[in-house]
A and B are shown apart, each in its own frame.
With several copies, the nearest count.
Chain A
Amino acid sequence: MSILVNEDTRIMVQGITGHQGSFNAIQMQKFGSKVVAGTSPGKGGSEVNGIKVFNTVKEAMKEDPNATFISVAAPYVLDAAKEAMYSGIDLIYILTEKVPYQDTMKIVSLASKLGKKVVGPNGPGVTSPFTCKLGIMPNQIFKKGNVGVISRSGTLTYEIVNLITTNGLGESTVVGLGGDPVTGMNYIDALEEFKKDDQTDAVAMVGEIGGTAEEEAAEYIKDRFNKPVVSYITGRSAPPGKRMGHAGAIISRGKGTAESKVKALEDAGVSVASYPYEIPSLLKEVLK
């Protein structure tokens, strides 16, 4: 089995008539995902590549979606997430970047009270080859396998997934948490899912500077995780106080350095790569 998404995942795309929304709706379809509905206020009744478009999520619920792909502009993400949650959607993926973090905080807090899961914002989503892709990862880099991947990055994730695939391994599920200081799911949440997943035999954890999520994950791995983990941490050369592209990638007041993360992970018995290309061989070692 995969985690978070599977063949029963029925995707709705909020903001389906936008450039990102329509492009990715079609890419998800091509991957094999069930994209069952889209929303775009005022464009109800139209279609995008055979996907019915509705004015509101409430109307779109006729098509029985259970996951949403949110691709509306940053100022409208909070509203879109509330609309989805209050209409009964259980898995919320937010593609949008530059969402004010207090909005994300409200979404995440509300989701936990309502028992919903949130992936993102500002991440590439969740992909399980080849049952379902909820997100924007490139379709052609995957191979079905037994490695779970968790990452805060986008392109770096693709690089590493591609390395795994081209070196003869494959992925169970790839989870992109998103590069913001506050995101829905974090490493521990994803590790907890992988813990229960039969298909996953090892996990590759891609981290970056900023915050202490990797350190907390290391604690979790040490005490409560049951599968081998390998890791790559990026941002070793980043100066303090500067945001490195991602809103969350910043060393502030001495916290969030790559050194601290690498040390915590190594202390937890995780093999940490110096370069991305080392990940496949580390995986092969732990999977022996």
Chain B
Amino acid sequence: MNLYEYQAKELFKKFGISIPVGKHVATEADLQWNKFPVVVKAQVLTGGRGKAGGIKFANDIGDLQAKGKEILAMSIKGLKVRSLLLEEKLEIAKEYYLSITLDRSTKRPVIIASTSGGMEIEDVEDSKIVKYWIDPTLGYSSFIGREVSFKLGLSTEESKQFQDVLGKIFALYEGYDCELVEINPLVVLKDGKILAGDAKVVVDSDSLFRHKELFENPAERTELEELAFKRGYALVELGGDIGVIANGAGLTMATLDGLTLKGLKPKNFLDLGGSDDVEKVVGAFQILKEAKIRGILINIFGGVTHCDTVANGIAEAKKRVGINVPIVVRLSGVNEDLGRQILKENGIESYSDMMDAINETVKVVK
């Protein structure tokens, strides 16, 4: 789960990391400030807001209110700007980069730091990047901060502050089960003080049971995804027009890939998961009913999910949900024959082979 900059900075504050003086503003009425110039930053869960006009400077109260209203009315990359962060303008001397994230290859958290901050870290040349992999059993220890800051070539005074920030963001990274904590830029002010100019925090959604004070930011999901999420389904909207229901993430992706290779555009990823429940199947159709599609392909390989259960679900859905686009069904595995029989009795044709079902889908939606 991505946090908004203002939420991330609240966590920074909690962990004692210096941030600019700022104020989170959700309504036009709150557009008040008393020390100018001030920075007005759109709060959206996407990169590139600067280029999109989502960051502006205001020189007086009138300017602030005009620009604030303007940004509050914007959408950036399809996401509506719902609030702003007002912040003091900083006297920036240098911009550094600092993050902690998961390195999947080594299965360890990796510290990434650079004295070239303010741009995407992917655009910084490797020789200017310092990386340090942390042993999860050992955790963070001060020597790690020393190693990183000496490699960066920081001055003694900068090094001290940098190590302090690093220790604290590691505590945040661990304490809030983060996937990413990123400070870009990590600002060195003209007076030598170091603070977090921006803040990006991504929390592992699977860890939210132990961070009850955080709640999911809904803006990360489309309407259809939000609907599916609320009903307990794993759905990803893709933008095509063929509805897909399958079981297992891998098989569902393989189904999407098969349709795509055949020239169709899937509307969605929808995984029934390891369930064996008629209502779960019916519910999947209820969600797809809300989507604009030209047909539905159901691809089931029966294991934990029994084919007869799925067949009963499809038959139920046909009666109750009222889908008015073609439905193609593939059933294979546990109780396959029984499932195919149930479908037949309900006037639905089905296939045993996945490719046959994909080819049939191509045919019926043309």
In the complex they form, whether A and B have CB atoms below 8 Å apart is answered with yes
Question: Does residue B349 face the partner (Cβ distance < 8 Å to A)?
Answer: no
B251 touches A57 (CB 8 A): no
A141 touches B333 (CB 8 A): yes
A156 touches B251 (CB 8 A): yes
Contact of B105 among A154, A162, A213 (CB under 8 A): A213
Give the chain A neighbours of B302 by CB distance below 8 A. 138
In the assembled complex, the Cα of A151 lies from the Cα of B177 at a distance in Å of 27
**A234/B254 contact (C-beta < 8 A), A74-B209, A101-B204, A275-B355 known:** yes
Distance (whole angstroms) from the CB of B138 to the closest CB of chain A: 7
B253 touches A238 (CB 8 A): yes
Give the chain A neighbours of B204 by CB distance below 8 A. 100-102
B256 touches A238 (CB 8 A): yes
Distance (whole angstroms) from the CB of A98 to the closest CB of chain B: 4
Q: Per-residue CB proximity of A146-165 to B under 8 Å, as 1/0?
A: 00000111111111001000
In the assembled complex, the Cα of A276 lies from the Cα of B108 at a distance in Å of 33
Question: Does residue A253 face the partner (Cβ distance < 8 Å to B)?
Answer: yes
**A55/B249 contact (C-beta < 8 A), A100-B207, A105-B107, A276-B254 known:** no
B209 touches A106 (CB 8 A): no
Question: Does residue B252 face the partner (Cβ distance < 8 Å to A)?
Answer: yes
Give the chain A neighbours of B86 by CB distance below 8 A. none
Closest to B137 in A: A109
Most B Cβ at <10 Å: residue of A82, A99, A234, A238: A234
Closest to B274 in A: A154
In the assembled complex, the Cα of A182 lies from the Cα of B106 at a distance in Å of 9
Give the chain A neighbours of B246 by CB distance below 8 A. 155
A99 touches B206 (CB 8 A): yes
Distance (whole angstroms) from the CB of A11 to the closest CB of chain B: 19
In the assembled complex, the Cα of A152 lies from the Cα of B248 at a distance in Å of 11
In the assembled complex, the Cα of A110 lies from the Cα of B259 at a distance in Å of 43
Closest to B355 in A: A277
Question: Does residue A179 face the partner (Cβ distance < 8 Å to B)?
Answer: yes
B249 touches A153 (CB 8 A): yes
Distance (whole angstroms) from the CB of B125 to the closest CB of chain A: 16
In chain A, positions 230-288 with a C-beta closer than 8 Å to chain B are: 232, 234-239, 242-249, 253-254, 258, 274-277
B122 touches A254 (CB 8 A): yes
**A79/B206 contact (C-beta < 8 A), A141-B333, A159-B301 known:** no
Question: Does residue B141 face the partner (Cβ distance < 8 Å to A)?
Answer: yes
B142 touches A274 (CB 8 A): no
Give the chain B neighbours of A237 by CB distance below 8 A. 238, 253, 256-257, 259-260, 266
A56 touches B174 (CB 8 A): no
**A242/B141 contact (C-beta < 8 A), A159-B251, A277-B354 known:** no
In chain A, positions 131-147 with a C-beta closer than 8 Å to chain B are: 136-138, 140-141
Give the chain B neighbours of A212 by CB distance below 8 A. 104-105
Question: Does residue B146 face the partner (Cβ distance < 8 Å to A)?
Answer: yes
A79 touches B207 (CB 8 A): no
B107 touches A108 (CB 8 A): yes
Tally of A interface residues using CB under 8 Å:
76
Give the chain B neighbours of A79 by CB distance below 8 A. 141-143
B147 touches A109 (CB 8 A): no
Question: Does residue A209 face the partner (Cβ distance < 8 Å to B)?
Answer: yes
Question: Does residue B304 face the partner (Cβ distance < 8 Å to A)?
Answer: yes
**A153/B236 contact (C-beta < 8 A), A140-B334, A158-B333 known:** no
Contact of A75 among B209, B248, B261 (CB under 8 A): B209
Question: Does residue A78 face the partner (Cβ distance < 8 Å to B)?
Answer: yes
Question: Does residue B212 face the partner (Cβ distance < 8 Å to A)?
Answer: no
Contact of A208 among B177, B209, B253, B304 (CB under 8 A): B253
Question: Does residue A88 face the partner (Cβ distance < 8 Å to B)?
Answer: no
In chain A, positions 142-195 with a C-beta closer than 8 Å to chain B are: 151-159, 162, 179, 181-182
Distance (whole angstroms) from the CB of A21 to the closest CB of chain B: 14
In chain B, positions 206-234 with a C-beta closer than 8 Å to chain A are: 206-207, 209-210, 234
In the assembled complex, the Cα of A276 lies from the Cα of B354 at a distance in Å of 9
A206 touches B143 (CB 8 A): no
**A234/B257 contact (C-beta < 8 A), A155-B251, A246-B249 known:** yes
B146 touches A55 (CB 8 A): yes
Give the chain B neighbours of A109 by CB distance below 8 A. 107-108, 135-137
In chain A, positions 66-109 with a C-beta closer than 8 Å to chain B are: 74-76, 78-80, 82-83, 86, 98-102, 105-106, 108-109
Question: Does residue B61 face the partner (Cβ distance < 8 Å to A)?
Answer: no
Question: Does residue B269 face the partner (Cβ distance < 8 Å to A)?
Answer: yes
Distance (whole angstroms) from the CB of B155 to the closest CB of chain A: 10
In the assembled complex, the Cα of A182 lies from the Cα of B174 at a distance in Å of 16
Distance (whole angstroms) from the CB of B216 to the closest CB of chain A: 14
Question: Does residue B5 face the partner (Cβ distance < 8 Å to A)?
Answer: no
Question: Does residue B115 face the partner (Cβ distance < 8 Å to A)?
Answer: no
Spell out A's residues near B (CB within 8 Å).
41-42, 44, 55-59, 74-76, 78-80, 82-83, 86, 98-102, 105-106, 108-110, 113, 136-138, 140-141, 151-159, 162, 179, 181-182, 206, 208-213, 216, 232, 234-239, 242-249, 253-254, 258, 274-277
With A56-B147, A277-B354 known, 10 other A-B pairs at CB within 8 A are: A56-B143, A78-B141, A105-B136, A154-B249, A155-B246, A156-B250, A208-B250, A212-B104, A236-B260, A275-B354
In the A-B complex, list the 7 residue pairs whose CB atoms are closest, starting with the nearest: A153-B250, A155-B248, A245-B249, A156-B250, A83-B143, A100-B207, A138-B303
Contacts A/B (CB < 8 Å), 27 sampled: A41-B150, A76-B142, A78-B141, A79-B141, A82-B138, A101-B102, A102-B174, A110-B137, A110-B138, A138-B302, A138-B303, A154-B248, A154-B274, A155-B246, A156-B248, A162-B332, A179-B250, A211-B104, A232-B254, A235-B253, A236-B261, A244-B269, A274-B261, A275-B261, A276-B254, A277-B353, A277-B354
